[in-house]
Amino acid sequence: MTTTNGNRKILDMKRWEMCAAVPIATGAGAFTILSRHITPLVMYFPPSNITPFIYDPAEDGFIPIVGHGLVANPAAGSTGVATSFGPSGTCPLSGTSTSIQVNEVLSRDLRGYKIRILSGPGAGDVRTIASNPVGASGAVTVTAAFSATPDTSTVYQFITPRFWAITAGSTAAASFRMYDWVTNTWTSMANSPASLSSDSKMVATPSFIGTDFHPFATGTATSGGSSTLTNTAKNWTTNQWTNSQIRITAGTGIGQIRSIASNTATVITVATAWTTPGRY
Closest among 38, 39, 45 to 57, alpha carbons compared: 39
Q: What is the C-alpha to C-alpha distance for residues 187 and 69, in angstroms, rounded to an integer?
A: 9
pLDDT at 280: 46
pLDDT at 260: 93
pTM exceeds 0.85, yes or no: no
16's CB contacts (< 8 A; 6+ apart) are none
Q: Is 233 helix (H, G, I), strand (E, B) or coil?
A: coil
Q: What is the C-alpha to C-alpha distance for residues 102 and 198, in angstroms, rounded to an integer?
A: 41
Per-block average pLDDT, block size 10, for the chain (280 residues)? 62 76 81 79 75 85 88 82 92 97 95 92 93 96 97 95 87 89 93 76 75 77 91 93 86 85 95 74
Question: Chain centroid to CA 65: how far?
Answer: 18
Q: What is the C-alpha to C-alpha distance for residues 97 and 145, in angstroms, rounded to an integer?
A: 5
Residue 123, amino acid: A
pLDDT at 43: 84
163 DSSP β-pair partners: 82, 179
pLDDT at 9: 56
Q: What is the C-alpha to C-alpha distance for residues 191 and 166, in angstroms, rounded to an integer?
A: 9
pLDDT at 158: 96
pLDDT at 145: 98
pLDDT at 152: 97
**Structural element, H or E, at residue 105:** strand 99-106
